Amino acid sequence: MSLTNEMISDVLNLSQDDIEHLSSCRINNTLVINVRLKKKTCSCPNCGSFSIRIKEYKLRKIHHSLLSLDPCILNYQARRYICSDGGITFYEDNPFSNQGVNISNLTILNVLKELKEPNATFLNISPIIRP
Ligand SMILES: [Zn+2]
């Protein structure tokens, strides 16, 4: 059984509305998650201008600690903006850098652990999802 995007976004503390692209795969024993966030309205941190455009995407590889059962690499395509007024570049807000562990993350961890059992189905792990 593979992880659903819902489970992954829960672990990452993202809502479905935040996500432009989310996919995952296993390479050997490592869970690789590819994520790109939706564009949000933001302004230049230097001059406050809203006259900004996307300059590029920079791949950031984040070794994620919440999925500590398996090695996990988060390939985060960080969106980089350029301000049309001042010419400075800046990154979108990065929700992955300072996230705390919360109950729902730990719950998901338990689900992931259950899913490692060969006969696990969503039916018999559902009491864990809804304590
Ligand atoms: Zn600016």
Contact 92, 77 (CB under 8 A): no
Residue 1 has pLDDT above 70, yes or no: no
- What's the CA-to-centroid distance between 56 and ligand 1, angstroms? 17
Residue 71 has pLDDT above 80, yes or no: no
Q: Which of residues 66 and 75 earns the better pLDDT score? A: 75
- What's the CA-to-centroid distance between 81 and ligand 1, angstroms? 10
- pLDDT given for residue 6 in this prediction: 84
pLDDT level of residue 128 (50, 70, 90 thresholds) = very low
Closest CA to 91 of 12, 37, 35: 37
C-alpha 10/C-alpha 32 separation (Å) is: 16
35: containing domain: 5-129
pTM: 0.67
Mean pLDDT score, 12-38:
89
Q: Which of residues 120 and 47 earns the better pLDDT score? A: 47
- pLDDT cut 90: percent of the chain above it: 34
Instruction: Find the Cα–Cα–Cα–Cα dihedral 63, 64, 70, 74, rounded to 10°.
Output: -70
Residue 103 has pLDDT above 70, yes or no: no
**Number of structural domains in the chain:** 1
- pLDDT given for residue 74 in this prediction: 86
Mean pLDDT score, 60-77:
75
Residue 127 has pLDDT above 60, yes or no: no
- What's the CA-to-centroid distance between 22 and ligand 1, angstroms? 30
Q: CB within 5 A of ion ligand 1: which residues?
A: 44, 46-47, 49, 83, 85-86
- pLDDT given for residue 73 in this prediction: 83
C-alpha 31/C-alpha 71 separation (Å) is: 6
